[in-house]
Every structure is written in structure tokens, then in C-alpha cells.
Amino acid sequence: MRIFKLIYKNALRHKLRTALTVLGMAIAVMAFGVLRTVVDMYYAGIDATAVNRLITRQAVSYIFTLPYSYRDQIAKVPGVETVSFANWFGGTYIDKKNFFARMGVDAETIFDVYPEYVLPPKEYETFKSERNACVVGSELAKQYRFKIGDIISMDGDIYPGPWSFVVRGIYYPRDKVTDATQMFFHWQYIDERMKQDMPGRTGQVGWYIIKIKDPSQAAAISEQVDALFKNSSNETKTETERAFTQGFINGFSSLLNAMNAVSFIIIGIIMLVLGNTMIMSARERTREYAVLKTLGFSGGHLFGLIFGESMLISAFGAVAGLLITYPFVAGIEAKMPKGFFPYFFITPQTVILAGAAALTIGVLASIFPLQRALRMKIVDGLRFIG
């Protein structure tokens, strides 16, 4: 028999209590993992950004548009390789809950500035040649069962009226973090309709995407672009794609901070639960610890027994928690409309953080029982009636 066996047997001495503690820890670890995953996914867009892309938007807010005429001026700035643009379309596909990103883009350049969207060349050629063609991401196609040749009908809101698009391509994500839940179509298709229905809204794009040759020149190029439109009625703000995405996410900072706080509060609560279990166990075993000391077991041995038991329970909880987190997150992903998050998975950092949190709980929960057992005088322990 080894000390580990005694630790194991002690941990299972009160099977129901240990099971409930492990279950509590598992649920807490799962809740922590899910919350962290949601927070991670909010920030995931930042990871998907490229260092050689700049975003130019209206200086006041990205909800305002910019003139299409800016395109040629931006293209002349030294260091700029390609200028593309996009426009948020909005609209409703069958039902409002069917949310995904729909954007009017420059078909000629969009796949050049976003090489992570991989579109078969033949489909790309067809897409470029038909005005009402659209391209959808593979995840989106999977969710709504879109196939090449399908017609997607929408009710416009920002751009009112009925709209129809023919699926001419399905792009695939190059990287795991690439968003494959978007729908692209020709900006010109929208603009031409606007010329007929609302002439005052023609020639406007949502934002420019600038591919630059040298990422180290990003700041200088941004300044030069913004300088072009200084004191105009549509001043611009140019920044790296990372900064742009970060700024977008900052709009949700209160929510994200609250979720972060809750995830750590959960850890705190479960620490108290495990701490309580360990204190109860240590209190019940006061006399046994005294007997072990009497037999010659040292403080180190008692430390091993109590600390080991705490760590064993927390490890069980962590493993069980992580095991249930994966199917839970997969279930959320399956239920969640595509496009709400570009992708949804548990990052290795979340696993490490949850594991580390569980182990920290194990360490902290053992402190008080350890202190009690190590300081206890043998004669007091032998007299103890639990």
C-alpha cells in the first residue's frame, strides 16, 4: 500500500459527498469553459485579421458611408497594393433570426485582399460575370443547404425591396479562424438598384479594405490616406484591420467584462465548495491524523494526504468538467445561427485556463485543512470527538 492509495481511498470515503463535489466542480469548469469560449469567440475576429490590411471608414462612425470616388485616390497612395470595398447590406432571409453577414463587395478585388477565402477559380469567374451572383461561405452553405445555382431571396431594409441572388460560388476557409459564414455579392448590383429607386444614395460604400505591400508602413499609409480627405464632408479614419476589429469589439466591452467576471466568480464559488468539503473531511479525520502522527508520520506525510486528496478531487472535477464542456459547446454551436460567431470552438488556452483554475482551487482548498492538521497537537487530536 502506498500513500497514493490512501489518498484515493480517503477521497472516496464519502462517495456521495465526493461525487457531488466533483459534479459541482465539473459544472463550474464547464460554465467557466463555455463563458471563456464565448468571450474568446468575440475576440476571435482579431486573430483572423491580417497585418497587411488596413480599413478605411467614415471618421465619425462606421455606420456612415464613404464616396466610391475615394477608391482611386486611395489607390494612388504609395505602398498601397490593392483597394477593395464592402457595404453592409442587412436584409432578412426568410426570417429575422436567420442572421448572417451579407455584403455588397467589389467582386474584382475582394478575393485578392482576402486570400483566406478560398474560392475555386471557375466559380470565381462565373461570380464576376453575373451581376446578381453571390458567393457564400461553406459553413453558411452547410447550414442553409445552399447549392450552386440556388436562388436566395431577401427582403431589404437598409436597401429596401425584394432582392434575389444566385449562388455561383462557395468559398472555403483557408485557416481554422477564417470566417466561412458570410455572403458576398456585387456592390454594383445594389448601386444600380439605388440609381433607379433612391438616386441620392448611389456611389456610397461602407468601408475600404486596403492591401498594403509592407505592413511596417501601415501607420504612415493610414496617415496619408486620411490626409487625402481632411476637411472634406466625409473625413476618414484608417487603421489596421486588427485595430478596426478591436474597436468594433470594444463596443461590447461591458458585456465581455461582465462575462469574464462571472467566469471567475464561478471559480471562486466552487473553490468554497471544495474548500468546505476538504474542511469537513479534515475535521472528521482529526483523530486519524493524530494517530498517523503518533505512528511517526511526519507533517510532510499529512501534507501529502490532504493536499493530494484536494488535488485529486479537483483533478476529477476538471477532467469531468472539460469532458462535458466539449459536447456542450458543440451543442451550442449546432443551435446557434451561423454568422453570430464566425466559428465557435474551445481554444487550447481555455482548456489550460480551466485546468489551471481547477488545480488552483485544489491548492487553495487544502490550505485551511492543512494548517489545522499540521498545527494540531497529537494529544488534542486523540481526544477529538468528531
Partner 1 sequence: MAQAIIQVQGVSKSYWRDSFEVPVLKDISIDVQDGEFLCLMGPSGSGKTTLLNLIAGIDRPGMGKILVGGTDIGSLSETALAKWRSQHVGFVFQFYNLLPVLTAFENVELPLLLTPLSKAERRKHVELALDVVGLSDRVHHYPKQLSGGQEQRVAIARAIVTDPTLLVADEPTGDLDKHSAEEIMILLERLNKEFKKTIVMVTHDPRAAEKATVTHHLDKGELS
| Binding-site string for partner 1 from residue 142 to residue 181, where x marks contact by CB under 8 A and - marks none | ----------------------------------------
Q: Can you tell me the distance from the alpha carbon of 351 to that of 33, in angstroms, rounded to the nearest whole number?
A: 7
Residues in the chain: 386
Cα–Cα distances in angstroms (integers) from residue 132 to residues 151, 166, 228, 376, in the given order: 10, 6, 33, 81
Judged by CB under 8 A, which stretch of 90-98, 135-143, 295-303, 355-363 contacts partner 1? 295-303
- Identified binder of partner 1 from the candidate list 298, 349, 360, 371, rule CB under 8 A: 298
297 phi, psi to nearest 5 deg? -70, 135
CA gap 287, 153 in Å, rounded: 76
**Please, which residues bridge with residue 86 across strands?**
105, 207
Q: Is 297 in the site for partner 1 (CB under 8 A)?
A: yes
Task: Give the DSSP letter of residue 14.
Answer: S
Q: Minimum distance between the CB of residue 296 and partner 1, rounded to whole angstroms?
A: 3
Q: Which of 46, 126, 382, 384 binds partner 1 (CB under 8 A)?
A: 382
Contact between 62 and partner 1 by CB under 8 A: the answer reads no
Question: How does DSSP classify residue 94?
Answer: S
Q: 275 to 294, contacts with partner 1 by CB under 8 A?
A: 287-288, 291-294
Q: Which of residues 338-377 bind partner 1 (CB under 8 A)?
A: 377
Choose, by CB under 8 A, the member of 16, 63, 295, 334 that binds partner 1: 295
Considering beta carbons, is residue 292 or 322 the nearer one to partner 1?
Answer: 292
Give the C-alpha separation, 169 to 58, whole Å: 31
CA-to-CA dists, residue 97 to 93, 105, 219, 336, angstroms: 9, 23, 39, 10
The cell 472528521 sits on which residue? Answer: 284
The count of residues interacting with partner 1 (CB under 8 A) is: 23
The binding site for partner 1 (CB under 8 A) comprises 1-3, 5-6, 9-10, 12-13, 287-288, 291-298, 377-379, 382
